Amino acid sequence: MIDFQNIYPEIFLIISTLSLLMIGVFFKNSFALVKKITIFALIICIPLVYVNFGNQILVFNNSYSINAFSNLLKIIILISSAFSLIFTGQYLKRINIEKFEYMILILSSTIGMFVMVSANDLIGLYLGIELQSLSLYVLSSLDRNSLNSSESGVKYFVLGALSSGLFLYGCSLIYGFTGSTNYLMISENLSVENLGIIFGLVFVIVGLAFKISAVPFHMWTPDVYQGSPTSVTAFFALAPKVAGMGAFIQILFVAFKGAYVEWKSIIVFISIASMILGSVAAIGQTNIKRLMAYSSIGHMGYALAGVAAGSIAGISSTVSYISIYVVMNIAAFTCILFLSREKKYFEDIRELGGMSKNHPIVSACLCLTLFSLAGIPPLAGFFAKFYVFKAVIESEMYMLAIIGLLSSVISAFYYLRVIKIIYFDKNKEKFDELSGFGMKFSLTTSSLLILFYFINPSLLINITDLASKIFK
């Protein structure tokens, strides 16, 4: 007998999705209504998740895990999804993609992410990945009038299908050599001397690395970020990263905890490669969305450094990092959605020239966000990196910490270049005024959190420590 109260959030989201689909089909011009209800549904779901926050329950024959860790990630995913709709403002209307299906796809991908972070079985994880990915494929190609959007959708679909194939192959190897797809059974039957299991694990890591755009499986990221509608790019940069990182931690620390020595070197390599490429490749970018793509690759490298530490402190630092990363990206993409003149949007960094004179408040918020992304104290981004480096050093992985610090210094260069353009370059025409309550609310909230995080920096790390203790 299933205790359905434990999966109320998932049931609620599924019912909301189906109900909104019916409203969208039967009522014309229902975009605004569906959008409001979707945001409301995502916010309502947060207390439903919080009710079971401290519980540790396995349902569906031990294939679905509800615990403090998965619940914390679900709350972050819900906040990310809600804000990705709140700050779209007038954008979707202006580029003529006011389709109610947009909200349905956001909700269905959110359900997929819920399954990813709670999966305690390889088959369940795969179902979550596919539910999320199929929605994201459609979202990236939603703007039919844009050739770039269609191209990005095809690229994402092809490479996403490749990553899913590799992941499934890894799952089949693990099943063949352990006799189970359940994480707990895999952990019991794990033998590090068995090369088949290790090969399977490598393929699973490769499949998940694709999903979080970690090097060398990042190829799709810059093109998809640039080609997709900006509101979709913002969503890509937020919730899927949280879900992917959650799936990474669950599978490595539950199913393959006994093979830490074997997977540590892989994660360290991916982490170092992501940090270096994310820092270096971004230097020459002129498109702000491609810049954010390389920035996200770099940040996934820092988050994976915490995973590589292999400790409770490492897991906690990774979750803290990804939480602060979400806040910083909300602020960054709200500012990017502001860059329009006469309802035409700009993505060239050079268009930001002299923005500080015409739009001092937005410029200050963007400057604050970029400094935080670079890890400048006392902003939130500094504490995010501090937690990760502290966990890495405690695990005596000094080389990883040194490379992380050096790449952080390099990344500061391209963030400072954007700030230089905003404050010191030749003055360009004024952008349209910041319109809509949603954009103002998102920018204000995220900027204040970035700026005043230092008042109580221990609050987040205490919450993540509590959630991470389930992996002891």
Output the tens digit of pLDDT for each of the chain's 472 residues: 566 777 889 999 999 999 999 998 888 888 888 989 999 999 999 999 988 887 788 888 888 989 899 999 999 999 999 999 998 867 888 887 888 888 999 999 999 999 999 999 999 999 999 999 999 999 888 877 778 888 888 889 998 899 999 999 999 999 999 888 999 899 888 877 788 888 999 999 999 999 888 888 888 889 899 888 888 999 998 999 999 999 999 999 998 888 888 889 999 999 999 999 999 988 888 889 999 999 999 999 999 999 998 889 999 999 999 999 999 999 999 988 888 887 788 888 888 887 888 888 889 999 999 999 998 888 999 999 999 999 999 988 899 999 999 999 998 888 988 889 888 888 778 887 767 788 889 999 999 999 999 998 888 899 998 988 888 7
Strands 57-59 and 64-66: what pairing?
antiparallel
Single out the residue of 71, 186, 150, 83 nearest to residue 118, CA to CA: 71
The distance of Cα 173 from the centroid of its chain, to the nearest Å, equals 28
The distance of Cα 421 from the centroid of its chain, to the nearest Å, equals 28
Please, are residues 425 and 354 in contact by the beta-carbon 8 Å criterion?
yes
CA distance 252 to 272: 18
E strand residue ranges, 248-385 = 340-341, 344-345
What is the structure's pLDDT at 3? 65
For residue 456, with 0-12 CB atoms within 10 Å meaning exposed, 13-18 middle and 19 or more buried, which class applies? exposed
What is the structure's pLDDT at 365? 92
Residues 6+ apart with CB under 8 A from 405: 389
Residues 6+ apart with CB under 8 A from 381: 324, 328, 371, 372, 373, 374, 375, 450
Read off the tokens for 349: 């960094």
Residues 6+ apart with CB under 8 A from 340: 94, 346, 431, 432
CA distance 221 to 442: 24
Alpha helices (H) in 141-284, listed in sequence order: 147-178, 183-189, 195-211, 220-227, 230-237, 239-250, 260-280
For residue 205, with 0-12 CB atoms within 10 Å meaning exposed, 13-18 middle and 19 or more buried, which class applies? buried
Helix, strand, or coil (residue 121) = strand
Say what the pTM is. 0.94
CA distance 109 to 84: 13
Run of H or E including 64: strand 64-66
CA distance 273 to 93: 39
**Within 10 Å of residue 216's Cβ, how many Cβ atoms?**
12
Residue 377: asked if its preceding bond is cis (omega within 30°), the reply is no
Helix, strand, or coil (residue 119) = strand
